[in-house]
Amino acid sequence: MRIVHIRISVLDVHYLTKMGNGVNVENCSYGATICAERAAIIKAVSEGQKKFLALGVSTDVNEFNSPCGMCRQFLTEFVHDNFPIYLVKPDRTYKKITFEKLMPDPFRLDSSSMEKKIN
């Protein structure tokens, strides 16, 4: 069952010049849906990859679509603020943004960022 009716695919580029991909897998129980961004990262991590160079998000809709809130939060564990994300339209035009632009104040359980917020 397709709920959103948008096909999404993701390409992630690893530090070892490998490329991985993922697609969205929708479910009638919306919470069980897996977005393409998370699918690509989970696949790469399951294969031993933990560092990434870039992420590309492509849809079949003629507009730039960025990762959802859940994917943005998920990405905080694997990317840095200046991490490049390419949003791609079907005609292959693209827009490059940074993770920080998508997620300006991410929730991270990292002691150094917690100390900055407290002080």
CATH number for the domain that contains residue 15: 3.40.140.10
pLDDT for res 11: 64
- 84, burial (CB in 10 Å: exposed 0-12, middle 13-18, buried 19+): middle
43 domain-assigned: yes
Distances (CA, A) of 21 to 76, 89, 109, 116: 18, 17, 27, 35
Can 37 be counted among the known catalytic residues?
yes
> Domain range holding 63?
8-118
How many folded domains does the chain comprise?
1
2 domain-assigned: no
71 domain-assigned: yes
pLDDT for res 1: 38
pLDDT for res 114: 45
Across the 119 residues of the chain, what is the mean pLDDT of every consecutive 10-residue run?
52 61 75 84 85 86 90 91 92 94 87 50
* Active-site residue (options: 37, 47, 63, 77): 37
92 domain-assigned: yes
66 domain-assigned: yes
* Cα 118-83-80 angle, rounded to 5 deg: 30
Half-sphere exposure of 116 (CA within 13 A, CB side): 8
91 domain-assigned: yes
